[in-house]
Structure formats: C-alpha cells, structure tokens
C-alpha cells in the first residue's frame, strides 16, 4: 500500500481506521506521505500507533504539502511523540484538521 501511495495520482482519501499497524509499517506509510502529492485526508483512528510510528508520521508532516486532514483518534501516542507532532505542525502549511 505504501509503495502504491508513492506513485498515486488520483486517491485523495485513505481510511485505515481499526487496522493495527506496526511501527515499521507506520514508517513505510510516512515515507509514502513524504512524496505523495494527492492525498488530502488520512484516517488512522484506532490504529494503536505509538512511539516510533508517531515520530515517523510527524517527520512526514514536516514535508507533506497536500494532507489537510489527519485523524489520529484513539491512538496511544505518548506526550513525547505528541510534542513531535506539535513541532511538525509548526512547519506544516497545509494540515487544517488533526
């Protein structure tokens, strides 16, 4: 899925809620978000994303220029990783809903 997102030219919304995702897969998804130019909405509710997965997403938000909505409800994100996300928001110019 991450590989497909890297070359995607049409998909604007991706809903992956209620699916467990490992830190490694979260990193792959984040890497795809760094280069994807069409996805505007990403639902990752109840994914049990924590630790390195949240950090990878924060890193992607620093460079992604199309995502406007990112839903991370019901994830186990620590205060430290929440700070990483907050730092990314200082740089991100497109995200309007978190």
Report yes or no on 26 lying in a domain. Answer: yes
Say how far apart CA 4 and CA 59 lie, in whole Å: 20
Specify the pLDDT at position 92: 96
Domain contains 97: no
Range of the domain at 87: 2-91
| C-alpha to C-alpha distances, 32 to 4, 56, 80, 89, nearest whole angstrom | 8, 11, 23, 18
71 located within any domain: yes
Q: Is residue 77 part of a domain?
A: yes
Expressed in angstroms, the distance from the first to the final Cα of the chain is 22
Is residue 8 one of the residues assigned to a domain? Answer: yes
Task: Quick: pLDDT tens for 45-89.
Answer: 877 777 788 899 999 999 999 999 999 998 888 899 899 999 999
With respect to residue 96, please indicate whether it lies within any of the assigned structural domains.
Answer: no
Render pLDDT for 18-39 as a digit per residue (tens, 0 to 9). Answer: 877 878 888 999 999 999 999 9
Domain count, the chain: 1
CATH number of the domain bearing residue 12? 3.80.10.10
**Would 78 be classed as within a structural domain?**
yes
pLDDT at 36: 97
Task: Give a yes or no: residue 69 inside a domain.
Answer: yes
Can you give the pTM of this predicted structure?
0.88
C-beta atoms surrounding 46 within 10 Å = 16
């Amino acid at each position: 899925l991450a590989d497909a997102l890297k070359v995607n030219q049409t998909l604007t919304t991706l809903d992956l809620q209620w699916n467990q995702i490992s830190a490694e897969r979260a990193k792959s998804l984040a890497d795809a978000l760094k280069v994807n130019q069409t996805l505007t909405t990403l639902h990752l509710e109840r994914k049990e994303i924590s630790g390195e997965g949240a950090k990878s997403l924060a890193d992607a938000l620093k460079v992604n220029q199309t995502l406007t909505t990112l839903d991370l409800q019901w994830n186990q994100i620590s205060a430290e990783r929440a700070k990483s996300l907050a730092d990314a928001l200082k740089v991100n110019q497109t995200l309007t809903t978190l």
